[in-house]
Amino acid sequence: MEKAWSPLGRKPSRQERPRLQTTAAFGSNPGRLVMKTFVPADLPSKPALVVVLHGCRQTPESLDAASGFSRLARERGLVVLYPQQIHSNNAHKCFNWFRPSEVARDRGEVLSVKQMIDHALKRHRADRTRVYIVGLSAGGAMTGSLVANYPDMFAGAAIVAGMPVGAVRDAMSALRAMKSGATPPSDGWGARIAEISPGRRSWPPISIWQGTADRTVNPANAGACVDQWLEANAVDRSSVRVERKPWGELSSWNAGGARRVSLYSIHGMGHGLPVKNRRPGRSGSTDPFVLTADISAPVELMRLWRLPRR
């Protein structure tokens, strides 16, 4: 069953931001999450699917209105899926990336998101080879867990102000790691990925995004995420290419003729998703964790993922 979301319960006009649809039944949903989607009216055949995981104290509606993912979906003919956390699971509506039971393969919240993806692919006849995922903060940490558990499901991923996979095992250690930086494991960050998917050598390209002035998630955690996915890909960290940009630095690591890991370090930005030309406006259209910058992560991801305008 699908129902349309509209602000304040009013019938939305053409000028209002796009509606997100809620899907009530999409699987066993062991993580008790909510599934919301944006689907353009003129959806092409075999569209791409972009999964967006919100951060703490966000909703799919607030993130979508401020980030413009649904506008990009209209322009490019793709489906956007927003898994949503609920208050009874987490008082701050954070995805529970720090609870082992929620991030283990075929269990908890990661299975709920996988079931949403499977449902969206079938319902909208989307292209299984073009599924992409991006997450902010707690959603970024959950993105890493989803890629580690189901690497064949994704063609690309982005972790924004997130945490390395397997960094902690409870809420208190999560807060410490976010503030001070996660403690590196003695056997290296890549070992946490190998434990989940042993023997795996091929991973979707991953971009990591971090503001240098982030006081919620210590930027050292972005370095840990880089180390983790470089080790998983068996790529030497010293092979980096660093480019100076108006917004900061882009560090990239290539292997086999393709970029495998990249780090977008955004000078002076705090905790959030960077966008250009953010336009505060109608009530409910802003989000404190979507930040004005000289680069737009949503637009850059469309380029990285080769999702052009129609």
Q: CATH number of the domain at 263, please.
A: 3.40.50.1820
Would 39 be classed as within a structural domain? yes
9's tokens: 């319960």
Would 144 be classed as within a structural domain? yes
Which stretches of 124-260 are DSSP H helices?
138-149, 171-180, 190-196, 220-232
How confident is the model at residue 18, as a pLDDT? Answer: 59
Would 298 be classed as within a structural domain? yes
Split at pLDDT 50, 70, 90, the class of 107 is very high
Domain count along the chain: 1
Active site residue 137: yes
pLDDT at 17 over 90: no
- Residue 218: name the closest of 274, 277, 163 by CA: 163
Which of helix, strand or coil describes residue 108?
A: helix
Would 97 be classed as within a structural domain? yes
**Candidates 137, 207, 265, 296; catalytic one:** 137
Would 123 be classed as within a structural domain? yes
Split at pLDDT 50, 70, 90, the class of 154 is very high
Would 309 be classed as within a structural domain? no
* Residues spanned by the domain of 224: 17-304
Residue that the structure tokens 């086999």 belong to: 256
Q: Are 113 and 54 in contact (CB under 8 A)?
A: no
pLDDT at 11 over 60: no
pLDDT at 260 over 60: yes
pLDDT at 48 over 80: yes
Would 288 be classed as within a structural domain? yes
Q: Are 293 and 247 in contact (CB under 8 A)?
A: yes
Integer Cα distance of 283 and 89 in angstroms: 27
Q: What is the CA radius of gyration of the chain?
A: 18
pLDDT at 282 over 80: no
Q: Are 136 and 54 in contact (CB under 8 A)?
A: yes
Would 2 be classed as within a structural domain? no
Integer Cα distance of 274 and 298 in angstroms: 8
**Residue 104 CB burial class (10 angstroms; 0-12, 13-18, ≥19):** middle
The total of other beta-carbon atoms located within 10 Å of residue 304's CB is: 16
Model-level pTM? 0.92
pLDDT at 5 over 90: no
pLDDT at 12 over 60: no
129's tokens: 């080879």
How confident is the model at residue 201, as a pLDDT? Answer: 86
Q: What is the DSSP letter of 18?
A: P
Split at pLDDT 50, 70, 90, the class of 19 is confident
pLDDT at 277 over 80: no
